[in-house]
């Protein structure tokens, strides 16, 4: 999927606008737009700030960015079990109020 698409997906899943996320993360809207488009890569510090907006650890955003279709080595059952657990974890965190 790529990190940019993962950032956009999580923002869409939480029904947030770019300006809201950017303001809460302390970054510019244009920078967030570039991150989501994949034309810029965030530092871990910026990724952490964005993740905190959603109540997630930054590693969850990295997990979402993993392109499973591009990797032919990911055919093991353990990975798919882990994927379900991590995705459930992410969904629980972003839907807490």
**In the chain, domain spans:** 3-94
Mean pLDDT of the chain: 87
pLDDT-based confidence at residue 16 (cuts at 50, 70, 90) = very high
pLDDT-based confidence at residue 58 (cuts at 50, 70, 90) = very high
pLDDT over 70 percentage in the chain: 84
Taking the C-alpha atoms of residue 87 and residue 30, their distance in angstroms, rounded to an integer, is: 28
- pLDDT value for 84: 82
Does the pLDDT at position 97 exceed 80? no
CA angle centred on 86, ends 81 and 48, rounded to 5°: 150
The domain over range 3-94 is classified in CATH as 1.10.260.40: yes
CB 71 within 8 A of CB 48: no
Instruction: Please state the pTM of the whole predicted model.
Output: 0.78
């Amino acid at each position: 999927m790529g990190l940019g698409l993962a950032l956009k997906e999580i923002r869409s899943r939480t029904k947030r606008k770019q300006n809201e996320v950017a303001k809460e993360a302390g970054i510019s809207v244009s920078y967030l737009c570039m991150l989501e488009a994949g034309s810029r890569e965030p530092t871990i510090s910026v990724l952490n700030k964005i993740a905190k907006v959603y109540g997630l650890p930054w590693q969850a955003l990295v997990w979402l960015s993993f392109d499973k279709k591009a990797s032919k080595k990911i055919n093991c059952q353990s990975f798919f079990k882990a994927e379900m657990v991590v995705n459930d974890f992410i969904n629980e965190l972003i839907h807490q109020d």
